[in-house]
Amino acid sequence: MTNTNPTAALILIGNELLSGRTQDTNLAHLATRLGSRGIRLVEARVIADDPPAIIQAVNELRSRHDHVFTTGGIGPTHDDITADCIAEAFGVAIGIDAEAQRRLEVFWRERDIESNPDRLRMARIPAGASLIDNDVSAAPGFKLGNVHVMAGVPRIMRSMLEHILPSLPSGPVTHAVSVVVTSMGEGDLAAPLRAVQERFPGVDLGSYPGHIDGVSRVELVARSQDEAELADVRGALLALVEAVGGTTLDT
């Protein structure tokens, strides 16, 4: 399955993700939105609020992928350390950015929010970075090299991502089709499924067992950039299920 599309990695930063208190939803959202631009998310890491861990992950992944995204740790409190870590990873200085400060002060003035040194921490941007707009709370993210630094709050992350996406070189989009089988297990489908995979080697064909309302089901998912081929694969999957006497949820 050669695929020459741009690749991306995501670094989710936050102790609360690793303690189990917070359920991440940013990964699936980012994956879906990148996919719509033909950018493949090929790796994600969840790491703690720990400078060496952040710096190492950023430097490893930015050399390996076309795009790196981070979420979390860019607020005003003492545990918000992402911007400093990014500056250190790139070996550049960090300080108050005049445009970031201006945006924050406009936002605060309109809401009778007082400026203070901690709030102003949100205007600290590594040297050479460009700002990423935040329609929700003004405090910008930033882009340095191929690293996009976003907020962890899903509503703000999503706003920032929509500002980033149009600027990214995109690739052909990978489409997906699926067939849900309710009447048999993966073990009954494995051999004919393997035959379909061999017949369509350029298609990424996966089998995902699970349960819906306590009833077990298997979802067969085919992914490819070639929509015509995918239609053929879907036909082959439906024929496969019929041939082994199975039932599908959709037709």
Asked whether 10 and 24 are in contact (CB, 8 A), the reply is: no
- Residue count, binding to a second copy (CB under 8 A): 68
Exactly one of 121, 124, 148, 217 binds a second copy (CB under 8 A); that residue is 121
DSSP state of 78: T
d(CA 223, CA 205): 6
Going by C-alpha positions, the residue among 229, 233, 224 that lies closest to residue 195 is 233
Q: How many residues in total does the chain contain? A: 251
CB of 128 to a second copy, least distance (A): 26
List CB contacts of 226: < 8 A, sequence separation 6 or more: 202, 203
Binding mask 5-24 for a second copy (x = CB under 8 A): ----------xxxxxxxxxx
CB atoms under 10 Å from CB of 206, counted, come to 13
Q: What angle do CA 78, 160, 59 make, to 5 degrees?
A: 65
Binding mask 72-101 for a second copy (x = CB under 8 A): ---xxxxxx---------------------
List CB contacts of 156: < 8 A, sequence separation 6 or more: 134, 136, 137, 150
Binding mask 38-77 for a second copy (x = CB under 8 A): --xxxxxxxxxxx--x---------------------xxx
Instruction: Tell me if 204 contacts a second copy by CB under 8 A.
Output: yes
Task: CB nearer to a second copy: give 91 or 117.
Answer: 117
Exactly one of 2, 112, 166, 187 binds a second copy (CB under 8 A); that residue is 187
Task: CB nearer to a second copy: give 32 or 130.
Answer: 32
Going by C-alpha positions, the residue among 154, 95, 147 that lies closest to residue 120 is 95
Structure tokens at 40: 């493949």
Binding segment for a second copy (CB under 8 A), chosen from 81-89, 124-132, 202-210, 237-245, is: 202-210
CB of 79 to a second copy, least distance (A): 5
Instruction: Tell me if 208 contacts a second copy by CB under 8 A.
Output: yes
CB of 88 to a second copy, least distance (A): 19
Asked whether 48 and 79 are in contact (CB, 8 A), the reply is: no
Residues that bind a second copy (CB under 8 A): 15-25, 27-33, 35, 40-50, 53, 75-80, 113, 116-119, 121-122, 153, 155, 174, 176, 185-191, 193-194, 197, 204-211, 221, 223
